[in-house]
Structure 1
Amino acid sequence: MERDVVFFDLDGTLLPIDIDDFLRKYFKALTREFSDTFDPDYFIKSLLKATNAMIENNGERLNIDVFIDSFLNLMGVDNQSDMMNRFDKFYQEKFPRLGADIRAGKVPANLIKHLKESGYQLVLATNPVFPLQAIKERMNWANVDPGDFAYISCYENMHYCKPNPGFYQEILQKIDVEPERAMMIGNDVQEDMIAATLGMETYLLTDFLIDRRTDNSRIDWKGTMEELFAYLTNK
Structure 2
Amino acid sequence: MIKAVLFDMDATLLDINLTAFMGAYVADVSRILARISGKPTLAFGGAWARGYLAIANEVRTDGLTNLELFSATVERLTGVPVADPAIADAISCYERTVLPRRRGGLVGARPMEGGIAAIERAREMGLAVALATNPSFSQDCIRARMGWAGIADMPFARVSHMGNSTRLKPRARYYEEFVSALGLAPEECIMVGNDARRDFPHPDIGMPTAYVGHARPGRAAWSGRMSELADALPALVDRLNLAG
- The TM tier, using the shorter chain, reads 0.7 to 0.9
Judge conservation of contact 1:184–1:195 (CA < 8 Å) in 2.
Answer: no
Give the direction of change, closer, same or farther, for the CA distance of 1:59–1:219 in structure 2 (3 Å limit): farther
Aligned to 1:75: 78
Q: Cα deviations across residues 92-141 of structure 1 (Å, max 9, x unaligned)?
A: 22211222442325521122122223211111111112111211221111
Aligned to 1:7: 6
Q: Secondary structure, in 3 states, of the residue corresponding to 1:206?
A: coil
Aligned to 2:44: 43
Work out which of the residue numbers 179, 190, 204 in structure 2 matches 1:183: 190
Q: Secondary structure, in 3 states, of the residue corresponding to 1:7?
A: strand
Q: Write out the 4+ residue segments of structure 1 that deviate beyond 4 Å after TM superposition.
A: none
Judge conservation of contact 1:196–1:218 (CA < 8 Å) in 2.
Answer: no
- Alpha-carbon offset, residue 230 of structure 1: 2.3
Q: Secondary structure, in 3 states, of the residue corresponding to 1:140?
A: helix
Q: Cα deviations across residues 63-91 of structure 1 (Å, max 9, x unaligned)?
A: 21112211112111257233212211221
Aligned to 1:63: 66
- Alpha-carbon offset, residue 38 of structure 1: 3.1
Judge conservation of contact 1:124–1:152 (CA < 8 Å) in 2.
Answer: yes
Q: Cα deviations across residues 145-176 of structure 1 (Å, max 9, x unaligned)?
A: 45411011011111111121110011121111
Judge conservation of contact 1:187–1:204 (CA < 8 Å) in 2.
Answer: yes
Moved more, 47-56 or 161-170: 47-56
Give the direction of change, closer, same or farther, for the CA distance of 1:109–1:68 in structure 2 (3 Å limit): same
Aligned letter for 1:41? L
Aligned residues: 228
In the TM superposition, 1:60-209 aligns within 5 A as: 60-78=63-81, 80-100=84-104, 101-105=108-112, 107-194=114-201, 197-206=204-213
Give the direction of change, closer, same or farther, for the CA distance of 1:35–1:83 in structure 2 (3 Å limit): same
Q: Secondary structure, in 3 states, of the residue corresponding to 1:114?
A: helix
RMSD: 2.4
Please report the TM-score for the alignment, with normalisation by the length of structure 2: 0.83
Judge conservation of contact 1:196–1:217 (CA < 8 Å) in 2.
Answer: no
Q: Secondary structure, in 3 states, of the residue corresponding to 1:148?
A: coil
The 2-side partners of 1:78 and 1:194 are apart by 33
Give the direction of change, closer, same or farther, for the CA distance of 1:231–1:89 in structure 2 (3 Å limit): same
Give percent identity, aligned residues only.
26
Q: Secondary structure, in 3 states, of the residue corresponding to 1:22?
A: helix
The 1-side partners of 2:61 and 2:8 are apart by 21
The 2-side partners of 1:200 and 1:143 are apart by 27
Judge conservation of contact 1:136–1:146 (CA < 8 Å) in 2.
Answer: no
Judge conservation of contact 2:11–2:112 (CA < 8 Å) in 1.
Answer: no
Aligned to 2:239: none
Q: Cα deviations across residues 166-200 of structure 1 (Å, max 9, x unaligned)?
A: 10011121111111111111111111122671101
Q: Secondary structure, in 3 states, of the residue corresponding to 1:194?
A: coil
Q: Secondary structure, in 3 states, of the residue corresponding to 1:133?
A: helix
The 2-side partners of 1:166 and 1:196 are apart by 9
